[in-house]
Amino acid sequence: MKTTVIAAAIVLTASANLAHAAYQLNLSSALSAQDPIVQAMEEASQAIAERSDGELTVRVFPNSQLGSDEDVVEQIRSGANVAVLIDAGRLAEYQPELGILSAPYLVEEHADYERITSSALYQDWVESLADSSGLRLLNYNWFQGSRHMLTQKLVETPDDLRGVRVRTINSPVWLRTIESMGATPTPLPWSEVYSALQLGAIDGAEAQLTAAEGQNLHEVITHIALTGHIHLMTGLATSEQWYQSLPEELRTILDEELHNAGEAASRATADAQDAVRERMEAEGVTFTEVDVELFRERVAGVYEELGYDQYRDQLTAGE
């Protein structure tokens, strides 16, 4: 309740401050203000304001200021002028097939997602999501980095994860993936991971390097196993009701600038990986190169269990 009240207050304050704008959108992200993703959002905000002559204004709220992703999704479904950066695994609650976009080892590199999101099958899912749940997925081209295992013990093989409580995202594809890799999946809000590690409530987390550094997780873990089990691509979802209320020219500006921002953010994130690793190593974190095939074999059954096997070949072939 407290989180909801605070989020509502922030949105109302933003609305009052931006009352001169005919339309406004509040962008929510769990990432820190220093993350390349959030910085790209800020740049997109400026571009949108300029192109629309101030008619459409976007304000960015990092660090889950508007609430957890799940809370924000409910705001969006109620028609709020909010968008959230979210992975497809969470959207699978409303459009089950989308969960495959967060499935393990779906692609070899994040650039392969462009072929997937250009497919007719993906586009059909996007429209079905909007029709059935009121969630408009604007784009899906925000690469947050490859997910690795961050732990307080050395991990070299899946067997080393036995009994290790690993924070992950609370959706079926994420939970089943981490369980298949050998760990005990423990869903928690991203903002609580640092304290949970510090207090011993969990033994590790799976995350991308830029986000982990943004939360200073290098202070509470000692090892990172480079499993690369998911290339975390995410998208911006907003209210279909609000989106359709925009004049067509403003929808075009919003779509184009947020897509361009996603491309820029993805490049910046990819370019930042080596530097983040160097800084973490300087802080005492040990990075371990693992045999990825051992982990890939462990999670192979996730596709069949969740009914994704029928779509995998279609998507990766770009059909």
pLDDT digits (tens, 9 = 90+) for 63-117: 999 999 999 999 999 999 999 999 999 999 999 999 999 999 999 999 999 999 9
Amino acid type, 35:
D
Number of structural domains the chain divides into: 1
Summarised one tens digit per residue, pLDDT across range 23-42 is 999 999 999 999 999 999 99
User: Which domain CATH number covers 6?
Assistant: 3.40.190.170
Share of the chain above pLDDT 70, in %: 92
With a cut of 60, say whether residue 9 has pLDDT above it. no
Residue 319 predicted with pLDDT over 60: no
Report the distance separating Cα 242 and Cα 58, nearest Å: 13
Q: What is the pLDDT of residue 316?
A: 76
Which amino acid makes up residue 7? A
* C-alpha–C-alpha distance, residues 307 and 96, integer Å: 9
pLDDT at 79: 96
Q: What is the mean pLDDT of the segment spanning 188-214?
A: 96
Number of other CB atoms surrounding residue 246 within 10 Å? 20
Backbone angles phi, psi at 138, to 5 degrees: -70, -40
pLDDT(16) > 50: no
pLDDT of residue 52: 98
Q: Is the pTM of this model over 0.95?
A: no
The structure tokens listed for 48 are: 């949108």
What confidence tier does 20 reach under pLDDT thresholds 50, 70, 90?
low
Q: For residue 151, what pLDDT is reported?
A: 98
How far is CA 230 from each of CA 15, 102, 233, rounded to the nearest angstrom? 37, 7, 9
pLDDT tier at 130 (50, 70, 90 boundaries)? very high
Assign 315 a pLDDT band (cuts: 50, 70, 90): confident
What is the mean pLDDT of the segment spanning 181-187? 97
User: In which domain, by residue range, is 130 found?
Assistant: 2-316
pLDDT of 8 > 60? The answer is: no
- Residues with Cβ within 8 Å of 128's Cβ and at least 6 positions away in sequence, in order, are 95
Calculate the average pLDDT of the chain. Answer: 93
State the Cα angle at 155 between 150 and 157, rounded to 5°: 130
CA 206 from centre of chain: 13
Q: If you average pLDDT over residues 159-185, what whole number do you get?
A: 97
Give the integer Cα–Cα distance in Å for 107 and 318.
12
Q: Over pLDDT 90: what percentage of the chain?
A: 90
